[in-house]
Amino acid sequence: MIKKDKMKIVSTRCIAKDTIEMVLENQFISGIAVPGQFLHIQVGKHILRRPISIADCNKELNQITILFKINGVGTDELANYQQGEYLDVLGPLGNGFTTDGESKSTVLLIGGGIGVPPLYYLGKTLKENGINIVTILGFQQKDNVFYEQQFQELGETFIVTDNGSYGHKGFVTDVIDQVGRFDCYYSCGPIPMLKALTAKLKGKKGFISLEERMGCGIGACFACVLPTKDGTSYKKICKDGPVFQAEEVTL
């Protein structure tokens, strides 16, 4: 069930360089949102909505948290919305992460940059199910880092920056060997990172969340498609995804 509705901005703040955390309120959308889903947000009079993943969801308070990076005219305008204003939102959209893993198993969360947010709601949900969480978060540099403490509350957390200005230097794939045994991985981040990661963890059970420029966000316009492994057909990122099994699609 998808709803087009107003969401009230409960709070908005800058949590890292060009990175905004916004808490939105809507009973229906927060009530059914699952980790990995996204909101399609109308910003001003822009022709296309902006797809932004759900970073957290509080079903008691009817709140959803989104995190986004200012990366163009749409997100720049969205960053200027104030507490108390309303956003026109279509959501929750897409198929989220599978969270029915076995209790006591260990999962590895690997996030890159603005791909980090959906992993937080996922990690919280998995932890509530008794699953052990280990997280690797990659950022460009120190002033881009966010949610380190939040992830540490879920379990052991490694921070990696490209230039080594914070945490480990290098890429998320460089520290995977240090994390020990895990049963399954979940990842979201830039395509080059996901390519390197799925290659390194070939054969391992994993799920990846993808982003792409979208039109309708509901599967009708065929803008955000991705070839399947066998090359004979496509998956729609907005409707069939954004979460896919790592082996299911070609990056």
* 218 near other proteins, rule: CB under 8 A: yes
Residue (166 or 234) nearer to other proteins, CB: 234
Contact region for other proteins (CB under 8 A) — 16-24, 104-112, 113-121, 219-227? Answer: 219-227
Contact region for other proteins (CB under 8 A) — 127-135, 166-174, 178-186, 217-225? Answer: 217-225
Shortest Cβ 132–other proteins spacing (Å): 36
Pairwise CA distance, residues 120 & 169, whole Å: 22
SS3 annotation, the chain: CCEEEEEEEEEEEEEECCEEEEEEECHHHHHHCCCCCEEEEECCCCCCCEEEEEEEEECCCCEEEEEEECCCHHHHHHHCCCCCCEEEEEEEECECCCCCCCCCCEEEEEEEHHHCHHHHHHHHHHHHCCCEEEEEEEECCHHHCCCHHHHHCCEEEEEEECCCCCCEECCHHHHHHHCCCCCEEEEECCHHHHHHHHHHCCCCCEEEECCCCCCCCCCCCCCCEEEECCCCCEEECCCCCEEEECCCECC
* 148 near other proteins, rule: CB under 8 A: no
Pick from 55, 136, 216, 249: which binds other proteins (CB under 8 A)?
A: 216
Contact region for other proteins (CB under 8 A) — 21-29, 51-59, 112-120, 222-230? Answer: 222-230
Shortest Cβ 244–other proteins spacing (Å): 15
Pick from 82, 103, 213, 230: which binds other proteins (CB under 8 A)?
A: 213
* 225 near other proteins, rule: CB under 8 A: yes
CB contact at 8 A, 35 and 99: yes
* 76 near other proteins, rule: CB under 8 A: no
Tell me how long the chain is.
251
Residue (46 or 169) nearer to other proteins, CB: 46
- Residue numbers 82-111 binding other proteins by CB under 8 A: 90
CB contact at 8 A, 15 and 66: no
Shortest Cβ 217–other proteins spacing (Å): 8
* 217 near other proteins, rule: CB under 8 A: yes
Residue (49 or 124) nearer to other proteins, CB: 49
How many CA atoms lie less than 13 Å away from 159 in the CB half-sphere? 20
Shortest Cβ 223–other proteins spacing (Å): 4
Shortest Cβ 232–other proteins spacing (Å): 8
Footprint of other proteins (CB under 8 A):
1-2, 4, 42, 46-49, 74, 90, 212-227, 233-234, 239
